Copies of this chain bind each other. A is one copy, B any other.
Amino acid sequence: MNNNQQFEYLLKRHQLKRTEPRLRVLSLLSAKSVATSQPDLESVIGDVDRVTLYRILSAFEEKGIIHKVFDLNGTANYALCSSDCAEHDHHDEHLHFNCTSCKKVYCLDDLDVQPVKLPAGFKVETFSLSATGLCPKCNNKEA
């Protein structure tokens, strides 16, 4: 099963119609190891209306196909969810690493994050941890 077939299956599984713009978004996101900003997506996706892109992204997010994370500048970045996300039930409580040099956002799964105890009264639904610094690539360049 090639990539494209996987994407088509993914859409079908979430009752989303197989359209060219949607396949492009999936293709772009899956090709990158880091989260991609909306402006970046917009600039490379080609002949797709801006509004359509916004709608695709929010549809995917609602369905649990992608998740959104804001970087240090407050711009939205998107990444494919790990397999166990479902509609309105995201499991993206992994660490997001923001590189201060290249501005990339890394999704780091598989880190054991200790739960934190909050003061009485707060009812926690989700946790998320983020860090800033230099990513491996930029770290090397400096040295």
Contact = CB atoms under 8 A, between A and B. Distances in A.
Contacts of A97: 118, 122, 124
Nearest to A106: B122
A58 interface: no
Nearest to A93: B131
B130 A118 contact: no
B127 A131 contact: yes
A131 B117 CA distance: 11
Interface residues of A, number: 36
Given A75-B74, A108-B118, A131 B126 contact: yes
B116 A111 contact: yes
Nearest to A100: B125
Interface string A92-104: 0001010010000
Given A108-B118, A126-B132, 20 more contacts: A70-B74, A74-B74, A95-B118, A97-B124, A108-B119, A111-B116, A111-B117, A114-B114, A114-B116, A121-B135, A121-B140, A122-B136, A122-B139, A124-B131, A124-B133, A127-B129, A127-B130, A127-B131, A128-B129, A128-B131
Interface of A: 70, 74-76, 95, 97, 100, 106, 108, 111-114, 116-136, 139-140
6 contacts: A97-B122, A111-B116, A123-B139, A125-B132, A126-B132, A127-B129
